[in-house]
Amino acid sequence: MQHVKLRQIQLKNHPSLNERWVQNVIADDPSILGIGDVVLKDKERVHRNAGRLDLLLQEADGHGRYEVEIQLGASDESHIIRTIEYWDIERKRYPQYDHTAVIVAEDITSRFLNVISLFNGHIPIMAIQFSAIETGEGVGLHFTTVLDTVSRGFVDDDEEVAQITDRSYWENRGSKKTISLADKILAICSEFLPSSTEFSYNKHYMGFWIDGRANNFAICRPQKSVLRLDIKIPKSQENDQFIESAELDCLDYDSRWKQYRIRVTENDLEQKREALLHLLRSAYEIRIN
């Protein structure tokens, strides 16, 4: 196989290719950024008294949004400030989404990478550097994430300081009927979990307490009329097809916590027990391996 030498070009002073061209390339196929399954929500989004946001991307499952600012050449102070300002405007306007600021530049210098890193952990921010490669067929863009958002731990990683509640709390927040649905989920899990497994009752969820410690491969959230079951398995075409063929009521996939959110009724526990068992067992095996 013959080696082909690639020719990298700089777009900052290019006679015909400019920032708008890069913006359009990303807008046509947002997946090239490498931040996941995202779609274009808006382009050149007007912010009153603050300018225009280059790109607003949204995760296909609808939970995450990315405020993307593009700059040719090296990143600078104004680029960082604009990106964070647009992120702040969007998160305040639409708090129902998880927002991430994304800086895209030809050159993320070490100096500004250090500055950006100071924000990370307080502001979810990503820095993506891109290269323009010229070939006989045209110009291609290659994107590399040089700074990702701080990884979040599992729900139970902070179990020791979680706000502990009890069964009566969830009977009031949900209902005795939906608590009984959660009990049946625990019974299903008894086929692969130790007999000592029980629920841990916390303010925002009911998790699993196994051999004296939390292991939340799944969590239950009893509501008034149904039970919401969150199962932590990777999103894949195979899992999507399995859930669809089992006719489970999947609300969506939460990419932030990497879990399928499924609405469970009494009928589901009777007619779709084997499908739920398969998903729960898979999540547990992934967690312990």
Write the CATH number for 74. Answer: 3.40.1350.10
Q: Which of the residue ranges 109-123, 135-149, 213-227, 259-273 would you say has the lowest mean pLDDT? A: 109-123
Same domain for 195 and 111?
no
Q: Which residue type, as a one-letter code, is found at position 252?
A: D
Of 147, 179, 194, the last residue of a domain is 147
Mean residue pLDDT of the chain comes to 88
20 & 69 share domain: yes
Segment 94-106, tens digit of pLDDT: 888 889 999 999 9
Query: Domain containing 204: what range?
Result: 155-288
Asked if residue 128 belongs to a domain, the reply is yes
Q: Token pair 């609300």 is at which residue? A: 251
Same domain, 141 and 226: no
Residues 124 and 191 reside in one and the same domain:
no
Whether residues 129 and 259 fall in one domain: no
Same domain, 135 and 194: no
Percent of the chain beyond pLDDT 70? 94
Q: HSE, CB side, 13 Å, CA atoms: give it for residue 216.
A: 24
Does residue 189 share a domain with residue 142? no
**Given this model, what pLDDT does residue 62 score?**
64
Instruction: Judge if 184 and 143 occupy the same domain.
Output: no
pLDDT per position as a tens digit, 210-269: 988 889 999 999 998 899 999 999 988 899 999 999 999 998 888 778 899 999 999 999
At which of 126, 147, 168 does a domain end?
147
Task: Say whether 52 sits in a helix, a strand or coil.
Answer: strand
Q: What is the structure's pLDDT at 255?
A: 74
- HEC string of 162-206 equals CCECCHHHHHHHCCHHHHHHHHHHHHHHCCCCCCCCEEEEECCCE
Q: CA torsion, points 10, 16, 19, 21, in degrees to nearest 10?
A: -110
pLDDT at 152 over 60: no
Same domain, 37 and 64: yes
31 found inside a domain:
yes
Mean pLDDT comparison of 116-130, 137-151, 163-177, highest-scoring range: 163-177
Q: Where does a domain end: 147, 179, 202?
A: 147
In the prediction, which pLDDT does 233 show? 94
Which of 84-98, 109-123, 210-224 is predicted with the least confidence, judged by mean pLDDT?
109-123
- The answer on 206 and 115 residing in a single domain is no
Asked whether residue 202 is domain-assigned, the answer is yes
Statement to judge: residues 171 and 124 lie in one domain: no
Tell whether 98 and 185 lie within a shared domain: no
For range 117-123, the mean pLDDT: 75
Per the model's pLDDT, the better-predicted residue between 76 and 154 turns out to be: 76
Taking the C-alpha atoms of residue 18 and residue 47, their distance in angstroms, rounded to an integer, is: 22
Task: Specify whether the CB–CB gap between 41 and 90 falls below 8 A.
Answer: no
- Do the domain assignments include residue 27? yes
Q: CA–CA separation, 88 vs 54, rounded Å? A: 15
Please tell me the predicted confidence (pLDDT) of residue 159. 46
Q: Please indicate, yes or no, if residue 2 is contained in any of the structural domains.
A: no
Give residue for tokens 């949204």.
58
**Domain annotation covers residue 1:** no
Q: How many domains does one find in the chain?
A: 2
What pLDDT, on the 0 to 100 scale, is given for residue 54? 94
CATH code for the domain in which residue 233 is found? 3.90.1150
The answer to whether position 272 is within a domain reads yes
